Amino acid sequence: MADRITSPFGAKSTAREVVAGHDLSGRVAIVTGAATGIGVETARALADAGAEVIIAARKPELGEEVANRINEEVGMKRVSFGMLDLSSFEAIRHFAHRWGDRRLNILINNAGVMACPLSRTADGLEMQIGTNHFGHFLLSVLLAPSLVDGAEHSGHRSRLVSLSSIGHRRSPIHFEDPNYNSRPYDKWEAYGQAKTANSLFAVGFDKRFKDKGVNANAVMPGGIMTPLQRHLPLEEQQALGWIDEKGKPREGFKTTEQGAATSVWAATGDELEGVGGLYLEDCAQAVPWSKDTPWVGVMPHALDPEAAERLWTLSVETTGAGA
């Protein structure tokens, strides 16, 4: 990787450190799932730098509370809440319809479900790929004209950030049965498949929209203790090596402020101007995964252009989106 893209930041950098010096005045950002976890810190850092930020999430009380808190901190109303349930195509279309033809400069697909018991979205899809990928796919395609418009009128390329995970190493896309209709369900394989899809989506989106002023990259935020772990008992988290017997996270886990840093860098970093289709980690382009460093890096199946094309076709068929 002779031309690997890096930045002055790293694993311990915070979102606010990454955005320091950037003036995002006049730019509009949507962050999905920003009512909890690293989404809150992502929204806070962008608002801190002057952006108008919409927290798109499914819990109004929580979302409004976070928006109000950030507005108090920055001393003006820059953050608002928008109702969005990514497990329902109807709800996603409703959000996009309400958005209308407003310009958009940054879309951060941050929301996610991890390792839940087998359940289905409103449209009958397996919950993890249905919410994490297909829901975000439909949202992004419906908002793509707004991102293109944002680039045309701001003098800056628009950016889409798709949150993946090291979990992608657990599974490629099972194209023959992505929704576990006939094969036995494995919650971790399903999570891995969904996170692979998040990375492949950035590859496919960037290919289609880079010539229209929009770039897309995938992000591995790092290991962070957030409500994403809500479906995992403490014993399982200990067995995975995430926490010790006293409940203390293992060495290498990040704070939420550090976990939001790579998302914010993907959305604002000068090093990424005009660059897309990458998998980013610790505020740099990820190295290839290896057994010697199992907690970092990206596997080839998460950036495979053929798989990205196949997934795009499947996603158009599944969502009915005319992309």
Q: Residue 303: which residues within 8 A CB-CB, separation 6 or more?
A: 199, 200, 203, 277, 278, 279
DSSP assignment of 282-302: TTEEPPBPBTTBTTS-B-GGG
The span from the CA of 190 to the CA of 81, in Å, is 30
> Could you give the 3-state DSSP secondary structure of residue 279?
strand
**Closest by Cα among 5, 189, 29 to 108:** 29
The span from the CA of 211 to the CA of 148, in Å, is 10
The amino acid at residue 16 is R
Rounded to a whole number of angstroms, the distance between the first and last alpha carbons of the chain is: 32
Could you tell me if 87 and 122 are in contact, meaning their C-beta atoms sit under 8 angstroms apart?
yes
Among the listed residues 180, 185, 191, 279, the single catalytic one is 191
Sign of CA dihedral 10, 14, 15, 19: negative
> Could you give the 3-state DSSP secondary structure of residue 245?
coil
pLDDT at 246: 62
Catalytic status, residue 191: yes
Mean pLDDT by 10 residues, the chain (323 residues): 90 97 98 95 98 97 98 97 98 98 98 94 98 98 98 96 96 98 97 98 98 98 63 56 59 85 98 98 97 92 98 97 66
Q: Which residue in the block uniquely carries the two structure tokens 């790293």? A: 10
CA distances for 104 relative to 31, 52, 99, 158, 232, angstroms: 11, 10, 10, 8, 35
The span from the CA of 194 to the CA of 137, in Å, is 12
Q: How many residues does the chain have?
A: 323
> Could you give the 3-state DSSP secondary structure of residue 106?
strand
The span from the CA of 136 to the CA of 321, in Å, is 12
> How many distinct helices (H) and strands (E) make up the chain?
11, 8
DSSP-assigned beta bridge partners for residue 32: 56
- Residue 21 DSSP code: T
pLDDT at 322: 64
